[in-house]
């Protein structure tokens, strides 16, 4: 499984990646930070559409292996409620040399962030919350005129209730 509610286990991910041909091991971890665009953040809630998300992450891993000279690529993403400091995503890449490993890890993480159906809701210190503005997926969303084969694009969708805000805020009950 590439999407899990359980805390991510880096030791196991590294153990599963051992490869004698590799001289480079790159690990990227994305952690929950305590601020976003000037607002204090207390925690995040990640949700996902697992049937598609799991398949897409595996496809991205395969694409990474095909595109770069790397021997191993694994990406896992956590769902559920995460406190500040917890790890939301790990990418583990092994390659013969560091240059390929760094490039491949960045490629894989970027694609997962932009293409996999995962949503991040931030909870702020003032008691409100908001979904982070994201990227459209699918060939028809946001930019139906774009060329065939383009699966994702940066999205300019705004909060429908507040055109100036890039998120959907909701004031939580006190």
Partner 1 sequence: MEIIVDCYGVTARLAGGPEHVIGLTPGARIADLLDMLGARWPELAKVLPACACAVGDTVVSRTHALAGGERLALLPPVSGG
Interface residue list for partner 1 (CB under 8 A): 30, 46-49, 51-52, 54-55, 77, 88-89, 109, 112-121, 131-142, 155, 157, 160-161, 168, 170
**150 CB-contact burial (10 Å; exposed 0-12 / middle 13-18 / buried 19+):** exposed
Q: Residue 155 CB, nearest distance to partner 1 (Å)?
A: 4
Gyration radius of the chain's alpha carbons: 17
Shorter beta-carbon distance to partner 1: residue 11 or 140: 140
Q: Residue 41 CB, nearest distance to partner 1 (Å)?
A: 14
Q: Residue 22 CB, nearest distance to partner 1 (Å)?
A: 25
Per DSSP (E only), the strands in the chain are 3-4, 24-31, 35-36, 39-48, 70-78, 80-83, 87-95, 118-124, 128-132, 135-137, 152-154, 167-171
Q: Residue 25 CB, nearest distance to partner 1 (Å)?
A: 21
CA–CA separation, 27 vs 74, rounded Å?
10
Shorter beta-carbon distance to partner 1: residue 96 or 114: 114
For residue 89, give Cα distances in angstroms to 7, 75, 117.
Answer: 10, 7, 14
């Amino acid at each position: 499984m590439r999407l899990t509610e359980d805390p991510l286990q880096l030791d196991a991910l590294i153990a599963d990646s051992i490869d004698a041909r590799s001289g480079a091991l790159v690990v990227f971890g994305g952690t929950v930070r305590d601020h976003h665009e000037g607002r204090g953040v207390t925690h995040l809630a990640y949700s996902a559409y697992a049937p598609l998300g799991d398949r897409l992450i595996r496809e991205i891993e395969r694409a990474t292996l095909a595109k770069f000279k790397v021997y191993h690529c694994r990406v896992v993403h956590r769902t559920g409620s995460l406190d500040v400091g917890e790890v939301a995503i790990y990418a583990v890449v092994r390659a013969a040399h560091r240059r390929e490993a760094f490039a491949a890890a960045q490629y894989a993480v970027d694609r997962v962030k932009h293409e996999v159906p995962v949503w991040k809701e931030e909870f702020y210190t003032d008691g409100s919350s908001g979904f982070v503005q994201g990227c459209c997926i699918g060939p028809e969303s946001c930019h139906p005129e774009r060329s065939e084969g383009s699966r994702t694009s940066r999205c300019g969708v705004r909060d429908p209730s507040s055109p100036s805000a890039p998120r959907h805020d909701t004031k939580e009950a006190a």
